[in-house]
Amino acid sequence: MEPVVLRTERLVLSVPTDDDIDTIVELCQDELMLDTLASLPWPYTRADAEFFVREVVAAGWEHGLGLGTVWGMREREGGPLLGTVGWNAERAEIGYWMGAPSRGRGYMTEAVRAVCAWVFAELGVERIGWEAVAGNAASARVARAAGFRYDGEGPSNIAFRDGSHPHSRHGHLLATDDGAPKPGWPL
């Protein structure tokens, strides 16, 4: 599939490129990532960012493999990468991370809404799943604000880097949902 650029009121969502590698390495040094991103290698190196951009992202757009389609979030065309949002078709889930300098501005909710709308409209998907380790309240707040329904807690569907499946929160968004926050979230 050809990469797709999405635009929101404040963001441009486009494919991460080699120009983003140094920024990805820098943002992924945040120790919060160690506890909240299950498959993120630690310590995170330049080789990890190169593999992510050149293999994972490229294969995802070309063949829908791995993480599937991944967008980098920017405040303007060609601007610095703030974080990423990815659609995993195999698990029918959305995943995301935001660099520390850009947190707390509502960017992630805006980006998640745009990606979900695209997935529903362009791929014909009826349900998008979400999960985050139970301690990742920021990810849960984004999912709630984007209109996801809370399904409860249980083991993660994704193996953590040590092979475990940590206690996680789960939710979903339906194509027919209105995008308004739903009750029942433990936040």
Domain boundaries, the chain: 6-127
Burial of 129 (0-12, 13-18, 19+ CB in 10 A): middle
pLDDT in tens, 87-142: 999 899 999 999 999 999 999 999 999 999 999 999 999 999 999 999 899 999 99
Query: What is the residue-wise DSSP string for 61-81?
Result: HHH--TT-EEEEEESSTTPPP
Task: Report the alpha-carbon angle 15-17-18, nearest 5.
Answer: 170
pLDDT band at 34 (very low <50, low <70, confident <90, very high): confident
pLDDT of amino acid 22: 98
187 pLDDT more than 90:
no
Q: What is the mean pLDDT of residues 59-68?
A: 75
pLDDT of amino acid 165: 93
67 pLDDT more than 60:
no
pLDDT of amino acid 66: 53
The CA distances from residue 28 to 46, 76, 131, 154, in Å, are 10, 21, 20, 26
Fold exhibited by the domain 6-127: Aminopeptidase (3.40.630)
pLDDT of amino acid 37: 82
